[in-house]
Amino acid sequence: MDLTRAASAAADDADPLAAFRARFTGADDDRPDRLLYLDGNSLGRLPVDTPAAITRVVEQEWGRGLVGSWDTWVEQSRRIGDLLADGVLGARPGEVLVGDSTSVDLYKLVVAAADARPGRDVLVCCADDFPTDRYVTAGVAAARGMTVREVAAHIDAGLDLDVLAGALDERVAVVVLSQVAYRSGALVDIAAVTRLARNAGALVVWDLSHGAGAVPADLTAAGADLAVGCTYKYLNGGPGAPAFLYVRRELQPQLRQPIWGWFGQRDQFAMGAAYDPAEGVDRFAVGTPPVLAMAAVEVGARLTAEAGVERLAEKGRRLTDLVVGLADAWPAGHGVTVASPRDAGRRGSHVSLGHPGAWQLTQALIDRGVVPDFRTPDRLRLGPAPLYTRFVDVWDAMDRLRALLEDGSWQQYPTERSRVT
Amino acid sequence: MDLTRAASAAADDADPLAAFRARFTGADDDRPDRLLYLDGNSLGRLPVDTPAAITRVVEQEWGRGLVGSWDTWVEQSRRIGDLLADGVLGARPGEVLVGDSTSVDLYKLVVAAADARPGRDVLVCCADDFPTDRYVTAGVAAARGMTVREVAAHIDAGLDLDVLAGALDERVAVVVLSQVAYRSGALVDIAAVTRLARNAGALVVWDLSHGAGAVPADLTAAGADLAVGCTYKYLNGGPGAPAFLYVRRELQPQLRQPIWGWFGQRDQFAMGAAYDPAEGVDRFAVGTPPVLAMAAVEVGARLTAEAGVERLAEKGRRLTDLVVGLADAWPAGHGVTVASPRDAGRRGSHVSLGHPGAWQLTQALIDRGVVPDFRTPDRLRLGPAPLYTRFVDVWDAMDRLRALLEDGSWQQYPTERSRVT
């Protein structure tokens, strides 16, 4: 790999996705002192089209159309769901719905899946997955008198499928697993795990949050049954944007989710006496979705679909390869270790660097115009978003990190952590 | 009551809340052919300040501040909650939280309350309450092997407290009840029901959706334990705006909700191994709240608090009295019956009129610039919002309805209902 800045600039010139950069606020700044935002895996940038889309919903649809706009809004969850299904997730129409938070969606699907496996009393999750995955699973288990079997993952290399296979037996009802590990970026093979779980008679609920929009999920091809995912990371749907859920079409009639709200009701506006869940994916809806927030999700989803997830993933692999290559080229790594799989095919679009002063480095980098993410206990996480991050952005960010490591100035920052990272 | 239009115009001139009208888009139109929006109880109007507030969050906080804005956003659920607590609900700081949908919030609190009453196997709800109240209750009961005891309410007069009292015994764990009935507008006395339930050892989860912002809840004074409510009706938070939940401070340490998401975790960003619910009302949070939608809730809540719920309720009583007075003055009511309590002290801020052609009348009124709401089976629901509805708006709307009833033209409209009302 040519690790010169000139090689990165050349890669940008040849980038088939380069034109998308101008469609995100602030992303096409090319001044030397520009902000280098490598946290698109935590909160994606603002698409240029989003303010107008929100303004249209607020001023036209709400302000002028008032309650009459429900003719449009009532289709919104499904419309954006179908857009994600086709353009991002490799799923079919009528399999994806947008509305609640990832945590709420995960809860609904884990309960629905556990109900579909009566007599089984174990839920499996991964000890290194994102807190909500582990906490929601624990909560469902606690309420039902089930046991959680946490499989260990290597903090750098992710989950070993043999370890997972060893945890699957006839007691396991549901496996909750992230496609991309939030800390290491390690990628799990959805098809392989689905086969393993199916052979054991268990259902998998995938959390696609840390990859959706940056790595393909190919849910239909992989045979996946159930999934949820976040839209405010690589899908650029805005802070706290509503999540998506996916239920394979053939499974929908067999499943019921536990929160019986009026948006999940067949013939909702008849307001009938008894709950009678709608056909299809609508039965996984609950209450009135946050229409204004959803408008931003739609813009982000369209941009991702237009760029194409395969192309995004290819660029993501090269961007993260550049991080790894640069860190490896430093003498003794300047004390930094690569805390992610080295094989780009086994990574999502973020990479973690291990360093005992990771929290101090995070603060120092932010002061120097680089936004990384700190992850416990000692991880500096860099998430170049292939839709709008340049190769030279990665190069310059790593150069600012290198300078910090060389001059030791990061050591002046407090070691005590503030509440929000 | 003076039922002339001049008397209504005089009431508007004397209205201490008149200045608020100009703070809602479209509400200060005074052309004779203006839109008469009497559906603020379904979707409140757009506050003039809301677009700028949303634009600030979108363009400044998200677009420029990016992930750093979480320092602000992480407090948003509590900040808006405290605003509602103090300015709208009569609750104390740290008792109200905004974030999920009403249905999800209701689910969380019903499960938490049922868990707090072990050994009891009955949930009570009201047969004439809004679908989500009944469906969520049924879903919780089904999952736990509990029984739902539905108490009947009179379709026009609402719930009789003696009927409710008769349903309360030592088997009842939780009562789910609306403060204002969504169809009749009948108002339930929160303090009286809370006493009844407490005497029976049960907890009440109030649904304040159909009154919040138009009638006082006075939760602390009433001794209420648990409540949820909608912000997109009289609180003008926008379509599908996130709901609020209320948990009395003294009760918080004893309760746990079932959806163990990372926003309910103590020291959330430590991302600890096991779920350990936060102190206080934060433990009732679940996932990342929809920040953009919440920005609109804040504007609506501020406007309501500024106007004052007592003043709003007083005007609401007079506005709905005017509907009742005008309908009563028509010869034989033109076939319309008043399907709401006649005593304004027993009503929220909406009133229903019964008519066999209510659905056809709804369509005919919309064509004539009046937006009412149809409610099954034969109810024309009129919700004048005291923040922005004039007395002459009500007078003119009733006049257009009178003209329709007299000329019979509404009979040309289809009897078959479309999906959205």
Q: What ipTM describes this predicted complex? A: 0.97
Of A50, A239, A275, the CB nearest to B139: A275
Distance of CA A293 to the CA centre of its chain: 17
Closest CA of chain A from B261, distance in Å = 5
What separation in angstroms does the CA of A359 have from each of A372, A379, A416, B70? 10, 8, 8, 17
Written as six digits, the tokens of B393 are 């708006």
What are the φ and ψ backbone dihedral angles of B96, each rounded to 5 degrees? -130, 140
Which residues, at least 6 apart from B267, have a Cβ–Cβ distance to it below 8 Å? A419
Q: What ranges do the domains of chain B cover? A: 5-48+308-412, 74-307
pLDDT reported for residue B22: 98
Which class in CATH covers the domain with range B74-307? Answer: alpha beta
For an interface test with B, the pick among A67, A207, A256 (most B C-beta atoms closer than 10 Å) comes out as A67
Which class in CATH covers the domain with range A5-48+308-412? Answer: alpha beta
Q: Please give the residue of chain A at the shortest CA–CA distance from B241.
A: A290
Q: Which of residues 248-307 of B touch A (CB under 8 A)?
A: 258-265, 267-275, 286-294, 296
Distance of CA B306 to the CA centre of its chain: 18
Cβ of B135 within 8 Å of Cβ of A102? The answer is no
pLDDT reported for residue B419: 54
Question: Residues of B with CB below 8 A from A230's CB?
Answer: 288
**Crossing angle between the packed helical segments A5-13 and A391-407, to the nearest 10 degrees:** 160
Q: Please give the residue of chain A at the shortest CA–CA distance from B73.
A: A239
Of A26, A132, A420, the CB nearest to B64: A26
The SS3 call for residue A406 is helix
> Which residue in B96, B42, B349, B75 sits closest to B243, CA to CA?
B96
Closest CA of chain B from A229, distance in Å = 12
Which residues, at least 6 apart from A172, have a Cβ–Cβ distance to it below 8 Å? A120, A122, A123, A124, A149, A197, A200, A201, A202
Q: Which of residues 57-96 of B touch A (CB under 8 A)?
A: 57-59, 61-64, 66-71, 73-74
Written as six digits, the tokens of A211 are 């990859």
Q: Is B398 in contact with B406 (CB distance < 8 Å)?
A: no
The SS3 call for residue A97 is strand
CB atoms within 10 A of CB A249: 14
Cβ of A375 within 8 Å of Cβ of B232? The answer is no
CB-based contact, B146 to chain A, within 8 Å:
no
Of B132, B239, B417, the CB nearest to A262: B132
Q: Is B25 in contact with B411 (CB distance < 8 Å)?
A: no
pLDDT reported for residue A272: 87
pLDDT reported for residue A419: 54
Of B127, B293, B417, the CB nearest to A293: B293
Of B62, B274, B376, the CB nearest to A238: B62
Which stretches of chain A score pLDDT less than 70? Answer: 418-421
Cβ of B272 within 8 Å of Cβ of A131? The answer is yes
CB-based contact, B320 to chain A, within 8 Å:
no
Going by DSSP bridges, is the β-strand pair B96-98/B244-247 parallel, antiparallel, or unpaired? antiparallel
How many CB pairs below 8 A link A and B? Answer: 275
CB-based contact, B239 to chain A, within 8 Å:
yes
Q: How far apart are CA A228 and CA A124, in angstroms?
A: 16
Provide the whole-model pTM. 0.98
Q: Find where tokens 């159909």 sit.
A: B210
Residues of B marked as catalytic: 130, 207, 232-233, 381
Going by DSSP bridges, is the β-strand pair B203-207/B172-178 parallel, antiparallel, or unpaired? parallel
Work out the percent of chain A whose per-residue pLDDT is above 90: 96
Residues of A marked as catalytic: 130, 207, 232-233, 381
Report H helices in A3-101.
5-13, 50-55, 70-73, 76-84
pLDDT reported for residue B270: 85
Cβ of B260 within 8 Å of Cβ of A135? The answer is yes
**Tens place of pLDDT per residue across chain B (421 aa):** 999 999 999 999 999 999 999 999 999 999 999 999 999 999 999 999 999 999 999 999 999 999 999 999 999 999 999 999 999 999 999 999 999 999 999 999 999 999 999 999 999 999 999 999 999 999 999 999 999 999 999 989 999 999 999 999 999 999 999 999 999 999 999 999 999 999 999 999 999 999 999 999 999 999 999 999 999 999 999 999 999 999 999 999 999 999 999 999 998 888 888 999 999 999 999 999 999 999 999 999 999 999 999 999 999 999 999 999 999 999 999 999 999 999 999 999 999 999 999 999 999 999 999 999 999 999 999 999 999 999 999 999 999 999 999 999 999 999 988 655 4
Closest CA of chain B from A74, distance in Å = 8
Q: How far apart are CA A208 and CA B246, in angstroms?
A: 32
Which residues, at least 6 apart from B182, have a Cβ–Cβ distance to it below 8 Å? B129, B130, B209, B210, B375
Residues comprising chain B, all counted: 421
